[in-house]
Amino acid sequence: MKLQIRYTVVQFVIILVSLTGINAQEKAQNYGNIPNELVAYDKYMKAYKYHFIEPIEFYGAGREKKAPTDLKEVRIGFLGPLEGSILMNLGNQMLQGSILAIEEANARGGYKGIPYKLMVHNDFGLWGAAANEIVKMDDEKVWAWLGTIDDINSHVAIRATLKMEIPNVNTGDPDPTFTETNIPWVVRTIPDDRQSSYALVNRIFVKDGHKRVAMIRANNRYGRVGTLHFNRTATRLGFPVVIEERFSDGETDFTAQLERVKKSNPDAIAMWGNAKESALILKQIRAMGLKQPVYASDRVVSKDFLNIAGSLAEGVVTTCQYNPEADDPKLKKFKANYIKRFDMEPDVFAAHAYDGMNLIIQSVQRAGLNRALIRDVLTDMKISNGYKGVTGELVYDGTWNNIRPIFMAEVNNGKFEFYPAPKWEKEDIIYKKPAPRSTGEGYR
């Protein structure tokens, strides 16, 4: 009889859903903050199941462990490219942001009078080396760690952090797939390249009206995965990139790639790479007589790019994960303290590391010296969502990925100017017939 009643109730619910169109998954925010009209196949039918909506919980042991009573320092790990990497300048900024947060925490009394100590590890950029550094951190008995930037090494490191059960706050890797690993020990506070892709596509194709865009990108995971959502979104609008060229890190002559770009007859060019290579590409674009508007990935927001590109940087449009010129007392104080401490201005990696390290410190203060409990605080949406640092608020999705609104950056009079990335409006999404290939043989 009970089975029959349960069966009847289930039938009723199914009928109610089918008649009313009620669907809890439909009401949820789109994963990755994708605009409603750009969800794959969504204009045809709703998916049977949506992934990455609910956070993965940690049900393992560890919360019962007692805190040690004989500590002379509370150790926090750091992993970043500090030597032997083309990302050294970014890694050192990330380290300095972390150091400043640690020093300020110790000036406030540390953890119940015990000072925090940063255990610094270099991300060599070698396959598997990042995992070895996490094992070393476990030996050092760190309570949590911050880092790193390189996409591949970040992925390797968090596999080790899963085994070691050490909480990790990532403040530098923009790979959209990073948190899709569903590792419950990992949170990311820097908005990912998915957000940059949506903003750039909106600006290039919708606002500026371009139809034929050539892409030249770094031949690494940052370039490949970073442009993935740009390419997909452009294609869904009916404007797939007309050509995609690649370059290697450290390359200085891009003549062959740009000759092919020129033959594709684009009306705009997009670059996705680090600041140095992007600036050199821009100079060679103009030297070849190409006058098309140029758009770029967020790593060009740096003095290196402006110094190398010079006046040719004028008008270049990109994105930035926050507004470094915001009229925010907390941000202004951070910048002043950072400049005083390190004699340089903080970049996006320094600012996010400062916020990320403060998030770790806050979690330790709340949870005590227990990794599992620190992890619980870091991943508690009620605590973390709305946490406001110098880069803005945390807005986590179901994978603990920060999807807060980002900013556009445009070079004007030799410096970057920042403004909010425009939101997608329903009337903006107009699906059009794809632009023809440069050969005139049809459509991509």
Least-confidence region, from 8-22, 78-92, 109-123: 8-22
Same domain? 154 vs 90: yes
Length of the chain: 444
- The distance from CA 126 to its chain's CA centroid, rounded to whole angstroms, is 22
> In the predicted model, what is the mean pLDDT of the chain?
88
Same domain? 132 vs 213: no
Please check whether residue 30 lies inside any domain of the structure.
Answer: no
Please check whether residue 32 lies inside any domain of the structure.
Answer: no
Cβ proximity of 209 and 46 under 8 Å: no
pTM equals 0.88
Please check whether residue 60 lies inside any domain of the structure.
Answer: no
- Write the pLDDT tens digit of every residue in 124-159: 877 778 999 999 999 999 999 999 999 889 999 999
- Determine the pLDDT at residue 426: 55
**CATH number, residue 204:** 3.40.50.2300
- Determine the pLDDT at residue 40: 78
pLDDT band at 290 (very low <50, low <70, confident <90, very high): very high
- Determine the pLDDT at residue 438: 44
Same domain? 365 vs 421: no
- Determine the pLDDT at residue 428: 55
Please check whether residue 68 lies inside any domain of the structure.
Answer: no
Same domain? 276 vs 261: yes
Q: How far apart are CA 272 and CA 216, in angstroms?
A: 6
Same domain? 303 vs 339: no
Residue 428 backbone zone (phi > 0: left; psi -120 to 50: alpha; other: beta): alpha
Same domain? 259 vs 292: yes
Q: How many CB atoms lie within 10 A of CB 83?
A: 11
State the residue range of the domain holding 186. 74-191+326-393
- Write the pLDDT tens digit of every residue in 17-75: 333 333 333 344 678 888 877 887 777 888 888 888 888 888 999 999 999 988 999 99
Residue bearing the bigger pLDDT, 273 or 429: 273
- Write the pLDDT tens digit of every residue in 322-373: 999 999 999 999 999 999 999 999 999 999 999 999 999 999 999 999 999 9
- If one counts the domains in the chain, the total is 2
Same domain? 210 vs 305: yes
Question: Is a pLDDT exceeding 80 seen at residue 79?
Answer: yes
Same domain? 313 vs 185: no
Beta strands in 107-212 (DSSP E): 116-122, 145-147, 168-170, 186-188
Cβ proximity of 315 and 408 under 8 Å: no
Location of structure tokens 């203060």: 365
Residues 6+ apart with CB under 8 A from 88: 81, 82
Same domain? 248 vs 234: yes
| Among the listed residues 41, 4, 42, the one whose alpha carbon sits nearest the alpha carbon of residue 23 | 42
Location of structure tokens 């390189």: 150
Q: What average pLDDT does the segment 279-291 reach?
A: 96
- Write the pLDDT tens digit of every residue in 209-257: 999 999 999 999 999 999 999 999 999 899 999 999 999 999 999 999 9
Please check whether residue 199 lies inside any domain of the structure.
Answer: yes
Cβ proximity of 82 and 147 under 8 Å: no
Least-confidence region, from 105-109, 173-177, 432-436: 432-436
- Write the pLDDT tens digit of every residue in 90-119: 999 999 999 999 999 999 999 999 999 999
Residue 214 sits at φ, ψ, to 5 deg, of -100, 140
Residue 57: exposure state from Cβ atoms within 10 A (0-12, 13-18, ≥19): exposed
pLDDT band at 430 (very low <50, low <70, confident <90, very high): low
Residue 283: exposure state from Cβ atoms within 10 A (0-12, 13-18, ≥19): middle
- Determine the pLDDT at residue 422: 87
Please check whether residue 13 lies inside any domain of the structure.
Answer: no
Please check whether residue 441 lies inside any domain of the structure.
Answer: no
Same domain? 79 vs 138: yes
Same domain? 128 vs 209: no
Distances (CA, A) of 3 to 8, 14, 209, 363: 9, 17, 60, 46
Q: What average pLDDT does the segment 417-432 reach?
A: 72
Widest CA span in the chain: 82
Please check whether residue 358 lies inside any domain of the structure.
Answer: yes
Residue 418 sits at φ, ψ, to 5 deg, of -115, 140
3-state secondary structure of 47: coil
Same domain? 278 vs 420: yes
